[in-house]
Amino acid sequence: MRSGFLTIYWRDMIRFTRFKSLLVASLLQPALWLAFFGIAMSSNFDRFASGLPSPAGVMQVSYLTFMCAGVIAMTTLFTSLYGGIVFLFDKNWGMLREVLASPLPRNSIVIGIGFSGVTKASIQAAVITVFGLLLGVQFFSEYSIAEIVIGILGMFAFIAIFSLGFLFLSSAIAITMETPEGLQAVITLLTMPIFFASNALYPTENFPDALKIASTVNPLTYMITGIRYYAIGDSFSVLGIAYTYAPAEIALSFAFLVIFAAITFALAWWRFQVAKAT
């Protein structure tokens, strides 16, 4: 299983690095999105919030800092949902038939693609984080060296488990589809409600009741909460709203993502078990 998993993993990573234009675009696009959209939004929101009272004794951060976690989450979501498209291309080119007919355990195929997607998402998240720090994002502000290390590890643990969950989901969908257009339609249908019914760009406190319920069962909300906890701190304020996270809340958020990843892995494993090699 180990060698099979690594074969699938390295095959997908080689494909990712070989297409230079795709590689550069996948790394630069989210950074540019943060630079142009983020700075424009931040300047407007921060000007609006300048007249709002700030909670006493709580570190105040810019909207760009608040939003940077959302941009990382958005990029991870898109990368993960599109990760399964490699199966659709392999199916159309006849490569998937050979893989499924081989002695390779089918769960190794799913896990290999899953971890290659985690690697891509982690690289993109690192690029966005570094670029955000250059733009003035207040990640790891006033952290000690040890706290920075813990913050980075915690942040990427949330990114990895979230990415795995949606890569497994994407793989399960892709193995049942016949055309890239059909898969793209399903992905578009999923990404819009998942992204906007979360705390990526704005606080959820003032959501209508229906959207509040949607945000509480949205895996993206829990990943963003984890990123902000580890990158900003357990207590901060933005736009006049104070945020305080307890360790138990972060543990529950991570547990939610683990359960989500386990469910989607079971779904992907089942779809690959019934997939035909012919």
Tens of pLDDT, residues 202-253:
888 778 888 889 999 999 999 999 999 999 999 988 877 888 999 999 999 9
What pLDDT is stored for residue 278 in this prediction? 46
Longest C-alpha distance within the chain, in Å?
66
3-state DSSP assignment of residue 218: coil
103 versus 55: the higher-pLDDT residue is 55
Q: How far apart are the first and last CA of the chain?
A: 23
Cα–Cα distance, 149 to 129 (Å, whole number)? 14
Model confidence band, residue 113 (pLDDT cutoffs 50, 70, 90): confident
State the chain's mean pLDDT as an integer: 82
Cα–Cα distance, 240 to 265 (Å, whole number)? 40
What pLDDT is stored for residue 1 in this prediction? 47
What pLDDT is stored for residue 232 in this prediction? 94
Share of the chain above pLDDT 90, in %: 28
Residues composing the chain: 278
Q: If you average pLDDT over residues 144-158, what whole number do you get?
A: 95
What pLDDT is stored for residue 225 in this prediction? 95
In 36-181, which ranges are E strands? Answer: 59-60
What pLDDT is stored for residue 155 in this prediction? 96
195 versus 114: the higher-pLDDT residue is 195
Cα–Cα distance, 40 to 47 (Å, whole number)? 11
Share of the chain above pLDDT 70, in %: 81
Q: If you average pLDDT over residues 3-8, what whole number do you get?
A: 66
